[in-house]
A and B are shown apart, each in its own frame.
Chain A
Amino acid sequence: MLEIKNLHVKLEEEDKPILKGVNLTVEAGKVHAIMGPNGSGKSTLSYVLAGRDGYAVTEGSATLDGLDLLEIEPEERAAAGLFLAFQYPVEIPGVGNMTFLRTAVNAQRKARGEEEMSAGDFLKVVREKAKRLKIDAEMLKRPVNVGFSGGEKKRNEILQMAMLEPKMCILDETDSGLDVDAMKLVSDGVNALRDEGRAFLVITHYQRLLDHIAPDVVHIMADGRIVKTGGPDLALEVEKNGYADILAEAL
């Protein structure tokens, strides 16, 4: 589904390479995890895939079911089924969470030539999905992420994901800032979305999220490359011994 080949990326403003040849293939129905120390390029990878400004791709490619992601606008990537759950979800004062969600859902539908969702249908669906994430009506009315706790923001990201039903979901450190209960809610939300037609790329520092969202494949990223790939055991190994051994071996 997602195919990244020899991806080299630097900051637009300065000559500083961040990704130095990332190769990664995520198949439909699978959950891949990327772990790695701070500054290894994990978040940059997610931003570049989603199309954030400020980065320059100097080499390589990234495709979603054969569609060249790097050539199209962020909204086109979204309509094609790519979703990024932000590490730091953005606040939008004055814009109701519900309005935001419905605008997003219908923008994507329109871009795909589908019919827009009526207010009534939308409301039914959103309430049902929100309930699972323990998001109450009050939180749906509040402005997007304004005054939300860390846990609420992350749950809200998962709600957006559930509403938009993307085929490729990237979760950027969705576990950061979550307590045990919130982690469970978020993980349950993600697991409920797992199916054969959908793939996940879960970026995290810690094994603990992977206790809840069991990965099929684990990658270790360091210094802008994927240096090791393995099964779920690899995450346990990192948890136990840290990155030092793996990095020493790889470099």
Chain B
Amino acid sequence: MGALETEVQADLREGVDRETIETVKAMSGTYKYGWDTEIETEYAPKGVNEDIVRLISQKNGEPDWMLDWRLAAYRRWVQMEEPRWAMLNYPEIDYQDQYYYAKPKSMATKPKSLDEVDPKLLATYEKLGIPLKEQMILAGVEGSETRKVAVDAVFDSVSVGTTFKEELKKAGVIFCAISEAIREYPDLVKKYLGSVVPQSDNFFATLNSAVFSDGSFVYIPEGVRCPMELSTYFRINAENTGQFERTLIIADKGSYVSYLEGCTAPKRDTHQLHAAVVEIVILDDAEVKYSTVQNWYPGDAEGRGGIYNFVTKRADCRGARSKVMWTQVETGSAITWKYPSCILRGEEAQGEFYSIAIANNAQQADTGTKMVHLGKNTKSRIVSKGISAGRAQNTYRGLVSMHPRASGSRNYTQCDSLLIGDKCGAHTVPYIEVKNNSSRCEHEATTSKVDEDQLFYCRSRGMDEEQAVALVVNGFVKDVLQTLPMEFAMEAQALVAISLEGSVG
């Protein structure tokens, strides 16, 4: 490639800002994914109890050991109390006043292939920009190479279908709905399910353990570099229904996978609960990259509706030199409670966490990470960019813990907060524990306001106020955007601008 072309590419990559702005204009402040799919849905009765747990297990055709595991979780959950330590303010959730299982009637018999899936469901994903066809996905930029991304589509409580399954199978990779994995690969599931996030971990994870209906399962065998990116797209459609999905990823020795997660929901006036669990097991020399663009419906400007997002995500770097990288772009949800964590157990294991959290209008986010250093010479890095606008509250909460045996370990943390307007808040709550004397932690934090001089400078060059804010904010989050796969980065960049619509002027 010639030098000029390289630069054009580089410039295009930089120039996504322009597209961002166009996207903003085109959408004029509406949540793009707020429509719903009219589809006949079968619900379990409202509320949660042992019968509901049994029903979900039966619907999924599960073996007894799985049902027992769920029931044990349920019995524990009824003894537990909802945690209230986060800097979040929301009315009491009535756990008996919602549905725990909703499934399109057309999914009554599991489609054998994507061709048999209800066209309405296929159209839904098409409209979301996630075609469930086995085709090359254009990597966002004209002229750049195309590549394949395999998708598992979860609609309310069930997985609708998984693409590229056969091709992945040839490489030895298992990528399927977790409901299917429980039936087809019981040994792997038994061995690893709950081994990273135990049933008793926390209130929301325990609830999830009892009632999770579907989610994705990934196994990358020893020495295999997954031939394509894997992704799960979560869609909540039914009203008054919670989504409880469970994802389990196992990266065997020396393997590699990049995994993407996207989520949206229709506009509803009532709050909906989303309590997911993601467990990742990483063995010797393996690496997992997990990227999320979370765009659940955030509620309206007055705080009506929106998703309550209580999520437990954790990676266990069990093997020596294993590596995990979490990248999250959190723009949606009325409430976000989420701390993707790394257990750095193997020697020289590495954990990285990159986060952009945007809270506008009445949104509240309490998010961050935990880096638990157990092994020798383990390393972690945290880069968090929080943006608050409107009346929103945005909290970074993070734990860095160096255990006695984790000698020679290192952490670097950088937390930057940006405020737009004077009615929002940004908070940083870092916890640092060091129990050996050869480890090192560095923590840097800044809080700033979008600078009037920067905005005026941009405007004096011809950009309007919204373009100026989008440009300055995209500059602020650039370090994190760069860690995302290309097409995700473009989507995220557009989302940054859209989420901040109406935050100025």
Contact = CB atoms under 8 A, between A and B. Distances in A.
Interface of A: 50-53, 73-75, 77-79, 83-84, 86, 89-96, 98-100, 102-108, 111, 119-120, 122-123, 137, 141, 143, 160, 164
B180 to A, nearest CB: 43
A122 B7 CA distance: 11
Contacts of A92: 454, 457-458, 471-472, 475
Q: Is the interface of A mostly helix, strand, loop or mixed?
A: helix
A78 B18 contact: no
Given A52-B460, A75-B462, A94-B476, 20 more contacts: A50-B456, A52-B456, A53-B452, A75-B459, A79-B462, A93-B475, A93-B476, A94-B474, A94-B478, A94-B479, A95-B472, A95-B474, A96-B14, A103-B17, A105-B462, A106-B18, A107-B463, A108-B462, A123-B11, A143-B475
7 contacts: A75-B465, A94-B478, A99-B15, A104-B462, A107-B467, A108-B461, A123-B7
B457 A95 contact: no
A42 to B, nearest CB: 17
B483 to A, nearest CB: 14
Contact of A74 (B18, B454, B456, B471): B456
B10 interface: yes
Contacts of A122: 11
Nearest to B467: A107
B136 interface: no
Contacts of B457: 86, 89-90, 92
Interface of B: 4, 7-8, 10-12, 14-15, 17-18, 21, 451-454, 456-465, 467, 471-472, 474-479
Given A103-B17, A103-B18, A137 B7 contact: yes
A5 B10 CA distance: 47
A95 B17 CA distance: 9
Contacts of B456: 50-53, 74, 90
A78 B462 contact: yes
B477 A94 contact: yes
A107 B462 contact: yes
Contacts of B14: 96, 98-99, 141
Contacts of B459: 51, 73-75, 78
B9 to A, nearest CB: 9
A106 B464 CA distance: 12
Nearest to B482: A94
A75 B463 contact: yes
